Amino acid sequence: MTTTATTLKGQPLDKAAVDSLLRRRLFYTPSFEIYGGVSGLYDYGPPGCALQANIIDLWRKHFILEEDMLEVDCTVLTPHEVLKTSGHVDKFADWMCKDPKNGEILRADHFVEDILESRLRGDKEARGQKVEEKEEDPKKKKKKSKGHEAIKLDDAVAKEYEEVLARIDNYNGEQLGELIKKYDLRNPATGEQPTPPVAFNLMFQTSIGPSSNTPGYLRPETAQGQFLNFAKLLEFNTGQMPFASASIGKSYRNEISPRAGLLRVREFLMAEIEHFVDPEGHKKHHRFHEVEDMELVLLDRDTQLSGKTTTQTISIGQAVKDGLVDNETLGYFLARIHLFLKKIGIDQSKVRFRQHMANEMAHYATDCWDAELLTSGGWVECVGCADRSAFDLSVHAKKTGAPLIVRQRLDEPKVIEEWEVEIEKKKFGPFYKKDGKTIEAAILATTQEERGKLGKELEENGKVFINVPGVGDGKVEVSKDLLAVKWQKRVENIREYTPNVIEPSFGIGRILYSLMEHNFWTRASDGGDEARGVLSFPPAVAPTKVLIVPLSSHKDFAPAVRKLSQKLRSAGLSSRVDDSSASIGKRYSRNDELGTPFGVTVDFQTVKDATITLRERDSTRQVRAEEDKIIEAIRALVEGTKTWQDIESELPLFEGQQEAEVTVR
């Protein structure tokens, strides 16, 4: 497996060259740049928008269409109560510390990681080993020529650093503070040790409406909207389980110090799936057999806890059998995520699935695997795949009293003996007034064990105290004329359960950036000019499919170019005309930078017999044939039903003049 970032052709990846190309060709650009910009906010230009739209299109086909998922589009603005209930208000935070001298705000885990990595690089250099520079904040780079000093570390210390780094995502704030003290970690900009880490909530707060009495947030994930619509979606699905909902939309996180370009931003596009499954029956998946032989590269929790980052390549079937991956549904989605990444052109040697360690897991998750992609910034989480158990549906049901459950008709009736609560509705509502619903929901959410105790207490004292957070002091007195708790026997024909949720969550911006790095390489120029960048996107995701190049601006070419553009449009193939005065070779190489996979040249022969040449971006080889045959070939190549080799075997090769420097004035 590759461990450092290289180009598609095995060249060392020149991050500065990729970034300069991407900005120069307007894939993306800092937002509000002429006002000085705001970190973590970027705009996409035309090729970036087209690339993103094509990735989303394939995502929809690969997941939503393939699996009959129910797509929803929910609002970004979310009331406080929803995110309080989901746990985000209290727990959706990162650890932040501050440089006491210059006030610089640092994300604690990234700070520890950066300094330890830089010490290890210094150690390598002192030992005369090859050092890979980690990409850093460009503003900082100006101050220092390199991010580390060549100082040899004690072997045991170096090993300890490696172990800390393998577990870096597992530390809480206090532990990060201890690491900062223990290793005397100082901000290189000031030489100061930062303050102890404190939790910083990542949500953007706002108020909804003019009176500011409805506090809210910009959503940090699309998931909550899907959970809140669960009952309606289940009904839409005629009560059938399992099923999945899906949503594509913007999410917002007030990242502490975003410096990694598109990889860490404050506003980003997410594509999320919530697959609802019955927790009984080991979360089996009826299509698991289709993927069980697929081999995935896995980095499990125990390996990381032992301070290592060694991966294993194992079939997903075996991983589930061994209990490494908890269940078939989770395993199925890991495999499907892998297939999607392959389809859009992610380099297969730069993908691994890493399991979360216990402390690292989000507050709602019981198991989680991230699809990580290797970039110039190291391994980056691009897709999270979490088993959220019944957490979200349960907490929202408990809070609102809404039945976020499945009712399943049983083949055989079931006799059940258990504690049942009976609420005296006629008196209960008028007695508790506006708090009635919340108190009732809290009573209904009690466990059997709790009900047993309540039953006894009611009998002995004639009243009980119920825990109801947010009402009074959190404890509400309920008397026996309002509530009865009885041990009862009943026959059930219906089973009620709260589904568990498996959630694959895609950050489209991170995938898009990794895709650009993975497909970048440089081609030496024949004419002795500087090497030119090429983005070898698969045709299906390439922003523009065809470049039309008239040999010159000669007026005879104009009708042929117009006709060709029209035919390509009708065939659903995006094209651009480059009729500038640059040489054909230059025009092609300019479009190689945009990742345009095919080019057609309109020349004097075209005017005579309607034949055109078709050039393939990566090999620069060309075929020549009648216009309609070429358009058909392009369509097959974009749809993936034919390869370039197929086309070369079907159509006559063209070894003419155009690729070389044919300068037309």
Ligand X SMILES: Nc1ncnc2c1ncn2[C@@H]1O[C@H](COP(=O)(O)OP(=O)(O)OP(=O)(O)O)[C@@H](O)[C@H]1O
Residue whose CB is less far from ligand X, 95 or 521: 95
Q: Does 510 bind ligand X (CB under 6 A)?
A: yes
Decide: is 255 part of the binding site for ligand X (CB under 6 A). Answer: yes
- For tokens 């909804």, the residue is 208
User: Cβ of residue 510: shortest distance to ligand X, in angstroms?
Assistant: 4
Least distance between ligand X and beta carbon 60 (Å): 18
384, 499, 533, 585: which one binds ligand X (CB under 6 A): 384
Residues 201 and 204: their CA atoms lie apart, in Å, by 9
Choice between 22 and 131, CB closer to ligand X: 22
Q: Which of residues 396-455 bind ligand X (CB under 6 A)?
A: none
Determine if 367 is a binding residue for ligand X (CB under 6 A): no
In the complex, what is the shortest distance from the CB of residue 439 to ligand X, in angstroms, rounded to a whole number? 34
Using an 8 Å Cβ cutoff, are 214 and 239 in contact?
A: no
Structure tokens at 411: 């083949």
Strand duo 267-277 + 653-654: pairing:
unpaired
Distance (Å, rounded) from C-alpha 115 to C-alpha 110? Answer: 9
Alpha helix segments (H runs only) across 445-491: 448-461
**Can you tell me the distance from the alpha carbon of 549 to that of 619, in angstroms, rounded to the nearest whole number?**
18
- The angle, 0 to 180 degrees and rounded to 10, between the axes of the packed helices 108-126 and 155-166 is 140
Task: Please tell me whether residue 111 binds ligand X under the rule CB under 6 A.
Answer: no
Pick from 125, 192, 295, 381 the residue near ligand X by CB under 6 A: 381
User: Rounded distance, CA 356 to CA 365, Å?
Assistant: 10
Nearer to ligand X, 148 or 259 (CB): 259
Q: Which stretch binds ligand X (CB under 6 A): 24-32, 60-68, 126-134, 507-515?
A: 507-515
Q: Nearest residue to ligand X, using CB?
A: 507
Q: Give me the residue label for tokens 């989770």.
A: 330
Nearer to ligand X, 331 or 504 (CB): 504
CA 609/CA 73 separation, integer angstroms: 51
Number of residues that bind ligand X (CB under 6 A): 14
Nearest approach, Cβ of residue 197 and ligand X (Å): 15
Q: How far apart are CA 266 and CA 399, in angstroms?
A: 30
Tell me if 513 contacts ligand X by CB under 6 A. Answer: no
Rule CB under 6 A: is residue 264 a binding residue for ligand X?
yes
Closer to ligand X at the Cβ: 168 or 325? 168
Nearer to ligand X, 384 or 455 (CB): 384
- 217: Cβ contacts below 8 Å, ≥ 6 apart: 77, 78, 80, 83, 88, 203, 204, 205, 206
Q: Is 382 in the site for ligand X (CB under 6 A)?
A: yes
Name which of 381 and 661 has its Cβ closer to ligand X. Answer: 381
* Candidate ranges 130-138, 341-349, 378-386, 467-475; the one touching ligand X (CB under 6 A): 378-386
> Residue 138 CB, nearest distance to ligand X (Å)?
18
Q: Is 55 in the site for ligand X (CB under 6 A)?
A: no
Q: Which of 542, 554, 537 is nearest to 604 (CA)?
A: 554
Q: Closer CB to ligand X, residue 350 or residue 451?
A: 350
User: Taking CB under 6 A as the rule, does residue 253 contact ligand X?
Assistant: yes
Q: Does 224 sit near ligand X (CB under 6 A)?
A: no
Per DSSP, the three-state class of 437 is helix
Residue of the chain from 197, 242, 509, 543 that contacts ligand X (CB under 6 A) = 509
Per DSSP, what are the bridge partners of residue 613? 601, 624
Measured from the CB atom, is 510 or 624 closer to ligand X? 510
How far is Cα of residue 219 from the mean position of the Cα atoms in its chain? Answer: 15
Q: Closer CB to ligand X, residue 163 or residue 381?
A: 381
| Cα–Cα distance, 273 to 383 (Å, whole number) | 11
Read out DSSP for 94-114? EEEEE-TTT--EEEHHHHHHH
- Taking CB under 6 A as the binding criterion, the range among 10-18, 382-390, 582-590, 649-657 that sits at the site for ligand X is 382-390
Tell me whether residue 384 or residue 599 sits nearer to ligand X (CB atom). Answer: 384
Interface region with ligand X, contact rule CB under 6 A, candidates 501-509, 596-604, 641-649, 651-659: 501-509
Q: Pairing between strand 351-355 and 295-299?
A: parallel
For residue 617, give both structure tokens. Answer: 């971006």
Closer residue to ligand X (CB): 32 or 487: 32
Using alpha carbons, select from 592, 529, 569 the residue that is nearest to residue 578.
Answer: 592
DSSP class per residue in 384-436? EEEEEETHHHHHHHHHH----SEEEEEEEEEEEEEEEEEE-HHHHHHHHGGGH
Min CB(498)–ligand X separation in Å: 22
> What would the two tokens of residue 459 be?
């009998």
In the complex with ligand X, the residue whose CB is nearer, 345 or 507, is: 507
Residue 247 binding ligand X, by CB under 6 A: no
Give yes or no for residue 505 binding ligand X (CB under 6 A).
Answer: yes
Question: What stretch of H or E contains 486?
Answer: strand 483-497
Task: Identify residue 201 by its one-letter amino acid code.
Answer: N
Residue located via tokens 């989303």: 56
State the nearest-atom distance from the C-beta of 290 to ligand X, in Å.
25
Q: Tell which one of 383, 395, 535, 560 touches ligand X (CB under 6 A).
A: 383
CB of 405 to ligand X, least distance (A): 26
Pick the piece of the chain touching ligand X (CB under 6 A) from 60-68, 182-190, 233-241, 261-269. Answer: 261-269
Phi, psi angles (nearest 5°) of residue 433:
50, -125
Shortest Cβ distance from residue 335 to ligand X (Å)? 17
Q: Does 393 bind ligand X (CB under 6 A)?
A: no
C-alpha angle 525-548-599 in degrees, rounded to nearest 5: 50
Give the closest residue to 262 by CA, choosing from 165, 375, 156, 94: 375
- Our finding on whether 507 is near ligand X (CB under 6 A) is yes
Q: How far is the CB of 383 from ligand X (least distance, A)?
A: 5
Q: Work out the burial of residue 211: count CB atoms within 10 Å of its CB; fewer than 13 is exposed, 13-18 middle, 19 or more buried.
A: exposed
- 50/385 with CB nearer ligand X: 385
Binding flag, residue 219, ligand X (CB under 6 A):
no
Q: Minimal distance in Å, beta carbon 207 to ligand X?
A: 24
Binding ligand X by CB under 6 A: which of 108, 131, 265, 548? 265
Please say which residue, 299 or 478, places its beta carbon nearer to ligand X. Answer: 299
| Stretch (H or E) spanning 123 | helix 108-126
Among 96, 185, 256, 270, binds ligand X (CB under 6 A): 270
Residue with tokens 């991407």: 22
Least distance from ligand X to the Cβ atom of residue 270, Å:
5
Closest CA relative to residue 511, chosen from 246, 245, 249, 262: 262
Residues in touch with ligand X (CB under 6 A) = 253, 255, 264-265, 268, 270, 381-384, 505, 507, 509-510
